[in-house]
Structure 1
């Protein structure tokens, strides 16, 4: 990826997660479903 990451938020995202379920965190900052990856 040639583009620099985007800072989506400068504070933590509080999220509730379920045991045994997989989650994909956004690392580039471009997801419209922060803090999760949408693609």
Structure 2
């Protein structure tokens, strides 16, 4: 939720979701899926 809140501060972001992805080094890392506003 914290990363999503930061992403939503950008004026061109329509929607954002952050999920955990497996990582060999760190165990898990965040991965953001971002949908931009129309025309951006």
Which TM-score bucket, shorter chain as reference? under 0.3
TM, length-normalised to structure 1: 0.20
Structure with the higher fraction of residues in helix conformation: 2
**Structure with bigger gyration radius:** 2
Structure with the higher fraction of residues in strand conformation: 2
TM, length-normalised to structure 2: 0.20
